[in-house]
Structure 1
Amino acid sequence: RGSDPLDLGDLVGLAAAGRATLPLSTRMLKWSEGRTFVVQLQDPKAPLDAFDLVVPPEHDGLTGPNVFPILGAPNRITAEKLGLEFARFQERLAPLPHPRVAVIVGGKSKAHDLSPARARALAAAIAAAVEGAGGALLLSFTRRTPPAAREAMTAALRHLPGMIWDGAGENPYFAFLAAADAILVTEDSTNLATDAAATGKPLFVLPMDGRSAKLARFHAELQRRNIARPFVGELTAPPYAPLLETDRAARELLRRYDGSA
């Protein structure tokens, strides 16, 4: 619409995520002559007073009257979604023995990496745990997993009952979370741990090469709340309430939106 104001009679809302959306979210107030309630997810790295609400992860340490931090990141995990996704892969997953261990592997980032040596060490520990429990493996890599690490883990774990997703065909990620009795995620990703924690299932964190102070704070808080713990070969843990930070943020958004309408 260029610089023309939007033809809006009532207050409307805009939720944007990531710095790539900043040109849109910061200009929307001007375009709509102040009739847009602008919500920015994550730390915008910009003046906070440009937004009605900012929802960053707690470990960013962002504060302010319009800041509502959450533990981890928003996600799409609901019981209904997990049920639907499991149904799509039921023929392959339902016959597998318990415990079913979902392993979600990240990879290279600014702070972390996954070397072949680390990948082989992780695979050996995972194999020992799954074999010892008589269970099955549900292994999924991400786009950031280095090819050499992916090949090393696949070679070391392909003998186990279960399923290794190689990136071809439909993505079983959510079905894996639904089918799992325990979930292992690498420490390089807030999203992976938050998704897993939303299921309420035993959650264990796999070490990577490298370190991030922010992510270390995030994992420490998960551990403090008895949600996750470092993986040391165990596959069981005390129960915890599913981490539903997306719902909590949505309630706060609606409260503030209703107050400004």
Structure 2
Amino acid sequence: MAEGGRPLRIWAVSDGRAGIEAQALGLAEAVARIRPALITPKRIGWSHGLGRLPWRLIPPGAQAGDPVGPPYPDIWIAAGRATLPLSTRMLKRAAGKTFVVQTQDPKAPLDRFDLVIPPEHDQLSGPNVFPILGAPNRITPERLAVEHARFAEQLDALPRPRVAVIVGGRSRAHDLPRGKAAEMAAGIARSVNAAGGSVMVSFTRRTPAPAREAMTATLAGLPGVIWDGTGENPYFAYLAAADAILVTEDSTNLATDAAATGRPIFVLPMQGHSAKLARFHAELARRGVAAPFVGDLTSAPYPPLVETDRAARELLRRYDGSP
């Protein structure tokens, strides 16, 4: 509880993009599972294209989107580059009365934050740094069960093994051109056909249209469903209903989400390379959580990854002033 026994007031601050917002909200929700809290999402942007500038050069007065002003929250949890012009100034603006948390590597002076929670593969260290494997997320057993139930009529009749195929796309380090996507889909189809199973396919906003088309052309011939981006998003239901999960190698979020289920995870190679993500996938493999996709759809069980809860406990320990 905060002062006077009231619930903690937490702001989850991001630019509103799904993957970024999920980190801030996921950590805030994990805190609220431990201690009563009221969570307010804040989606911010920067006017006149100023968001493309280095954070030091962006004046806070140019902030757009949801209002960010006093009374400030007890805990500020922010994710993403767009939040840095505010996060780096929040300790001063709130006169030290707001506990300021930043996920990811902020690439800013660490003394501007009370706590930084980056992925281990960023190799960031410091007295106020608490690295975790992967990224904070919003997945809990309860949420998976609820989302599965919402789509059960569509998914439970699919032949097993049910294979969730979660496809990212273009990033700074990776790409998924049509030829690579077609090759990827052909490998998936061979394995699913051999196992007598089905697919549940979800693309992301970063999946290039030619890659989406190439994969759909092949995977549509299998039993299963391919979400076309309209209607309610079945992403969490696909994870919950899956007997195995295939994720592309370009995203920390996708693999972390999958690892929260405890289901076998296989990583799909793309065009390009990231040393940081290679370290991440190597650690997942070391822990028996994930392996490169080579056609097999079975692996040994592992405990679901609960790094978000671990980070939330550390956040509250530091918020309470424990040494």
Common topology (TM > 0.5): yes
In structure 1, which of residues 193, 205, 213 is the aligned counterpart of residue 267 of structure 2? 205
For residues 217 and 124 of structure 2, what CA distance do their matches in structure 1 show? 43
Aligned to 1:22: 84
Aligned to 1:133: 195
Aligned to 1:90: 152
How far is the alpha carbon of 1:26 from its aligned partner? 2.2
CA contact (8 A) 1:6 1:33 kept: no
Q: Are residues 37 and 202 of structure 1, via their aligned partners in 2, closer, same or farther at CA, if it must alter by over 3 Å? A: same
Q: Deviations over 1:99-130 (max 9, x none)?
A: 00000001011110011111111111101111
Residue correspondence of structure 1 range 77-226 to structure 2 within 5 A? 77-226=139-288
- Structure 2 stretches lacking a partner, 5+ long: 1-59, 62-68
In structure 2, which of residues 115, 121, 124 is the aligned counterpart of residue 59 of structure 1? 121
How far is the alpha carbon of 1:31 from its aligned partner? 2.1
In structure 1, which of residues 231, 238, 241 is the aligned counterpart of residue 300 of structure 2? 238
In structure 1, what residue type is equivalent to 2:159?
A: P
Q: Are residues 130 and 39 of structure 1, via their aligned partners in 2, closer, same or farther at CA, if it must alter by over 3 Å? A: same
How far is the alpha carbon of 1:22 from its aligned partner? 1.4
In structure 1, what residue type is equivalent to 2:77?
A: A
How far is the alpha carbon of 1:221 from its aligned partner? 0.7
CA contact (8 A) 2:89 2:112 kept: no
Q: Deviations over 1:119-152 (max 9, x none)?
A: 1111111011111111110011111111111111
For residues 167 and 146 of structure 1, what CA distance do their matches in structure 2 show? 13
Count of aligned residue pairs for this structure pair: 257
CA contact (8 A) 1:14 1:38 kept: yes
Secondary structure, counterpart of 2:170 in structure 1: coil
Identical residues among aligned pairs (%): 73
Q: Which runs of at least 4 in structure 1 moved beyond 2 Å after TM superposition?
A: 5-8
CA contact (8 A) 1:177 1:199 kept: yes
TM-score, scaled relative to structure 2: 0.77
TM-score, scaled relative to structure 1: 0.95
How far is the alpha carbon of 1:7 from its aligned partner? 6.0
- Structure 1 stretches lacking a partner, 5+ long: none
**Aligned Cα RMSD in Å?**
1.7
Aligned to 1:43: 105
Secondary structure, counterpart of 2:159 in structure 1: coil
